[in-house]
Amino acid sequence: MASDTVLIIGGGPAGLEAARLVGDLGAKAVVIEKRDHLGGTPIAENYAALTHGFRDAEEAMDEMMRGVTHHPNVEARLGWEVAASEGNAGDFKVTVAKSGNGASEVLNAGAVIIATGFQHFDPGRETQMYGYYEYDDVITLADAEHMLKHHKFVKPSNGQAPERVCFIQCVGSRDRQIGNEYCSKVCCGISSKQAIEIRQQVPGAKVFIFYIDMRMYGYWENEIYWPAQEKYHVQYVKGIITEIIRKGDRLLVRGEDTTMGRPMEVPMDIVVLAVGMEPSRGTKDVAQIFGLKQNKYKFIEVPHDALDPTATSVPGIFVAGAAAGPKDLDDSIGMAGAAAAKAVALVRRLAKVTA
Ligand SMILES: Cc1cc2nc3c(=O)[nH]c(=O)nc-3n(C[C@H](O)[C@H](O)[C@H](O)COP(=O)(O)OP(=O)(O)OC[C@H]3O[C@@H](n4cnc5c(N)ncnc54)[C@H](O)[C@@H]3O)c2cc1C
Ligand code: SF4
């Protein structure tokens, strides 16, 4: 018997949007989230403000979460993960397990949407000598979000306000040696957004962005990139940074200014590594459980790409958000809407056939 339930795995921005829309379309949605809270990476990693408009991340995500937790057609289960799956489109039998207490249950679903997201690149794997685990004042974009959220953008080593801050772009992305040749799409925009926030919170600090080339698409250009330069006087330097060493109580950033074609050595108080996106552990696990093809970077493969961006290699299973590759919120949420509509259309069609 075909089931009209759509099972959504992952309660981040993409999963929340998919669940709300499935519910709004009058079908039943069940969201499984392995953490003990909804909201995905923006909540788990304490992001400060989200684009567009620098809206408080917690407030924006709370609104998304309420759209699901107060929805009569949506059930959200926290602390649950998928353990096994069998069956086909219209009639999947998915075993879900509650973390910690060993309880498990079999859910019947007509379609599944994978929204298991991404994780930040671990800068310990970087082949350049950036010293993330060595120097307290070398941090990541995620660490910076946390500090900006609490209005405490200070040198971790001594708690003092920084005078000089820089960002290093493409850490863990566009790097053939590591095997991540892809561009993570969002880190140029997020670095520029954070540069503005640093200038707002610590107006005395000089802020630099060292980049290979800046990749700003859509609104990031007008809303963030140009204001960062023109209003907040952030300095963009085309260059390659190869090494960070400690000098006194500062960091010495070494590399090459590629516009001027000469070596550079600049002292900084805080260095922010613009770490890229990799598939989350959950994305890799779920791909195995459902037998989904993954691309060479282990994101879930979308066979038809531009023409059917939410399809996977298994009929009845759709994908949304960063589980399919680096994405900003607009793209994750747009993709979730399409996945929800396709999943509901499928379960309705199959219900008619078997009625
Ligand atoms: C530092 C930083 C700042 C950012 N700021 C912005 C911004 O300002 N604007 C913007 O547009 N984008 C921003 N982004 C990008 C944004 O975070 C992503 O677009 C968005 O989080 C993708 O949503 P998602 O739901 O696909 O994935 P995620 O947010 O990663 O959510 C996935 C969810 O799935 C859950 N999950 C994983 N595996 C399982 C499993 N096996 N079972 C059950 N649940 C599982 C996870 O616990 C998580 O809750 C930022 C990214 C970074 C790195
Ligand atoms: S978005 Fe920018 S920082 Fe991120 S990988 Fe692409 S070019 Fe590099």
| Ligand 1 proximity of 325 Cβ (cutoff 6 Å) | no
Alpha carbon of 84 to ligand 2 centroid (Å): 36
| Ligand 2 proximity of 215 Cβ (cutoff 6 Å) | yes
181-190: pLDDT as tens digits: 999 999 999 9
pLDDT of residue 243: 94
**Integer Cα distance of 61 and 72 in angstroms:** 19
Instruction: Annotate 192-203 with DSSP letters as a single string.
Output: HHHHHHHHHHST
Ligand nearest to C-alpha 8: 1
Contact predicate 57/34, CB 8 Å: no
Alpha carbon of 314 to ligand 1 centroid (Å): 23
Helix 57-69, helix 13-24: angle, nearest 10: 30
Ligand 1 atom with the smallest distance to the CA of 323 is 26
User: Is 0.95 topped by the overall pTM?
Assistant: yes
pLDDT of residue 306: 81
Contact predicate 183/214, CB 8 Å: no
pLDDT of residue 241: 94
234-276: pLDDT as tens digits: 999 999 999 999 999 999 999 999 998 999 999 999 999 999 9
Contacts 24+ apart (CB under 8 A), 224-228: 224/51, 224/189, 224/192, 224/193, 224/196, 225/188, 225/189, 225/192, 227/196, 228/192, 228/195, 228/196
**Integer Cα distance of 194 and 226 in angstroms:** 14
Ligand 2 atom with the smallest distance to the CA of 213 is 7
| Ligand 2 proximity of 190 Cβ (cutoff 6 Å) | no
Query: What's the gap between Cα 214 and its chain centre?
Result: 19
21-53: pLDDT as tens digits: 999 999 999 999 999 999 999 999 999 999 989
200-217: pLDDT as tens digits: 999 999 999 999 999 998
Q: Whose CA is nearest to atom 4 of ligand 2?
A: 187
| Ligand 1 proximity of 47 Cβ (cutoff 6 Å) | yes
| Ligand 2 proximity of 199 Cβ (cutoff 6 Å) | no
User: Is residue 21 classed exposed, middle or buried when 0-12, 13-18 and 19+ CB atoms within 10 A define those classes?
Assistant: buried
Decide which of 126 and 324 is more confident.
Answer: 324
For the cut 70, the answer to whether the pLDDT of residue 355 exceeds it is no
Ligand 2 atom with the smallest distance to the CA of 189 is 1
For the cut 90, the answer to whether the pLDDT of residue 1 exceeds it is no
**Integer Cα distance of 123 and 146 in angstroms:** 17
322-333: pLDDT as tens digits: 999 999 999 999
User: Region 292-303: what's the mean pLDDT?
Assistant: 96
Contact predicate 81/96, CB 8 Å: yes
For the cut 90, the answer to whether the pLDDT of residue 232 exceeds it is yes
Alpha carbon of 243 to ligand 1 centroid (Å): 30
Contact predicate 283/300, CB 8 Å: yes
Q: Whose CA is nearest to atom 21 of ligand 1?
A: 41
Q: What are phi and psi of 96, to 5 degrees?
A: -115, 145
pLDDT of residue 48: 96
Tokens of 53: 């408009």
Substitution site in 16, 41, 185 for ligand 1 pocket (most atoms within 8 Å of beta carbon): 41
Alpha helix (H) ranges present in the chain?
Answer: 13-24, 40-44, 57-69, 141-149, 187-201, 219-220, 226-230, 281-290, 329-354
Contact predicate 241/131, CB 8 Å: no
Alpha carbon of 343 to ligand 1 centroid (Å): 21
For the cut 80, the answer to whether the pLDDT of residue 353 exceeds it is no
pLDDT of residue 142: 97
Alpha carbon of 79 to ligand 1 centroid (Å): 17
Ligand 1 atom with the smallest distance to the CA of 81 is 42
Alpha carbon of 333 to ligand 1 centroid (Å): 11
Alpha carbon of 337 to ligand 2 centroid (Å): 26
| Ligand 1 proximity of 141 Cβ (cutoff 6 Å) | yes
Contact predicate 298/284, CB 8 Å: yes
Q: Whose CA is nearest to atom 1 of ligand 2?
A: 185
58-80: pLDDT as tens digits: 999 999 999 999 999 999 999 99
For the cut 90, the answer to whether the pLDDT of residue 313 exceeds it is yes
**Integer Cα distance of 26 and 40 in angstroms:** 25
Contact predicate 338/310, CB 8 Å: yes
Residues whose CB falls within 8 Å of the CB of residue 317, separated by 6 or more in sequence, listed in order: 89, 111, 112, 113, 114, 290, 292
